[in-house]
A and B are shown apart, each in its own frame.
Chain A
């Protein structure tokens, strides 16, 4: 069993779909933060079979964790203080995200015109389904994060 030290204060992002941890790492720009980060890939999970986990130690006030809901609606965010989980929350699903998800439909206009922002709308709250506003294809699979700014409506 792989052991990663318990963090004193920070955040554990749990139940990440396998293969999604590095995308979230990149999206949150964790390499530029002055904090320790542990990425656990392919961990065993009773609920999911396999999952990824990210443990982040330190201040994270500047990170918009809600937006993670668009990347992977099933993740759990555990807030840690003094080595204990003080809050467990599921991310909110934003109504609209821009340049967070990338449309993979080869027939979509965004596949040929690269200046167009990749914009997705939440069309099914219950199942956390986002659709590209241009081609209406549902976002599916491991997040493919586009570099850029985050806009919320």
Chain B
């Protein structure tokens, strides 16, 4: 039995298999409509997340399975003080697989240590969000056809943005990748990501402040939202939230085949006018997320 707590819990071979299966599902979803018949997914969401929860639920329903769960800590036994270990032991007898989101970092790992069913981390605070990373990889693979040789720009909150850290880590396993890290000084990528991932693997990267200057060089632009819930100090959040806004003028500076990805939800860091640009693929990315989660559920229930 395998758990998915971090994006690196899959080897490159397993990841390739996941992406191949996702592609197969994308091409012919009906073929998989009974793949999880009589199987049940538990969604244990201790913090609100419409998108990820619905994506998991849609994935399981598309596979012919069923879904149980809760969508906030208030409506779960956590409000009565039950530990994660106890909750997962009980849920293990109700469901075949579970997806857990928790505001505290490491909560899904704790769950996996006490679970008798596969646990998928659906986001733990500012830490990991592996299915988002796999979705990002699937989107790049589908739309670019490769990972090797790409120049990938990350823009916005690179300090607290877990999707950024995870995707940097995942892409660093491929050759000839180059990163341009675009952020204000206060929201730079943490030192340990630079030391232990980028420098350790001799991956070229630049840290810059100007999106306009960086955008012409990019094959992928990964935009992020400055997330209010990651700040302890509201003043800092207000000061930094509108640092970067991608609009048509900036898009005019980009390559014709550059792709704009965003983990969503978008607030105002991408102007609505960009949505109609064929290079803006963030809604496609959300759609790919369902196929990817379908593939992951199949793989974990098969093992």
Interface residues of A (CB under 8 A from B): 105, 107-113, 115-116, 123-124, 132-138
Chain B residues touching A, range: 10 to 19
A-B contact pairs, 23 of them (CB 8 A): A105-B105, A107-B103, A107-B105, A108-B104, A108-B105, A109-B104, A109-B107, A109-B124, A112-B104, A113-B110, A115-B85, A116-B85, A116-B110, A123-B196, A124-B196, A132-B106, A133-B109, A134-B105, A134-B110, A136-B105, A136-B106, A136-B127, A137-B105
Contact partner of A111 among B104, B109, B192, CB < 8 A?
A: B104
Q: With A107-B125, A136-B127, A138-B192 given, is the CB distance from A115 to B83 under 8 Å?
A: yes
Interface of chain A: mostly helix, strand, loop or mixed: loop
A107 and B126 contact, CB distance less than 8 A:
yes
A135 and B105 contact, CB distance less than 8 A:
yes
Query: Which residue among B85, B106, B124, B126 has the maximum number of chain A CB atoms within 10 Å of its CB?
Result: B106
Q: With A113-B83, A135-B127, A136-B127 given, is the CB distance from A108 to B192 under 8 Å?
A: no
Interface residues of B (CB under 8 A from A): 83-85, 102-107, 109-110, 124-127, 192, 196
Which A residues lie within 8 Å of B102 (CB)?
109
Nearest residue (CB) in B for A105 is B105
A109 and B126 contact, CB distance less than 8 A:
no
Q: With A115-B83, A135-B105, A136-B127 given, is the CB distance from A109 to B192 under 8 Å?
A: no
B83 and A109 contact, CB distance less than 8 A:
no
Q: How far, in Å, is B297 (CB) from chain A's closest CB?
A: 24
Which B residues lie within 8 Å of A124 (CB)?
196
B196 and A109 contact, CB distance less than 8 A:
no
A113 and B127 contact, CB distance less than 8 A:
no
Q: How far, in Å, is B65 (CB) from chain A's closest CB?
A: 28
**Complexed CA–CA distance, A123 and B104 (Å):** 22
Which B residues lie within 8 Å of A116 (CB)?
85, 110
Q: Which 5 A-B pairs have the closest CB atoms?
A: A134-B106, A135-B105, A109-B104, A109-B106, A109-B107
Q: How far, in Å, is B52 (CB) from chain A's closest CB?
A: 18
Nearest residue (CB) in A for B160 is A107
**Complexed CA–CA distance, A137 and B128 (Å):** 12
Kindly list 5 other residue pairs between chains A and B, CB separation below 8 angstroms, not including A107-B103, A107-B126, A134-B105: A108-B105, A109-B84, A123-B196, A124-B196, A135-B127
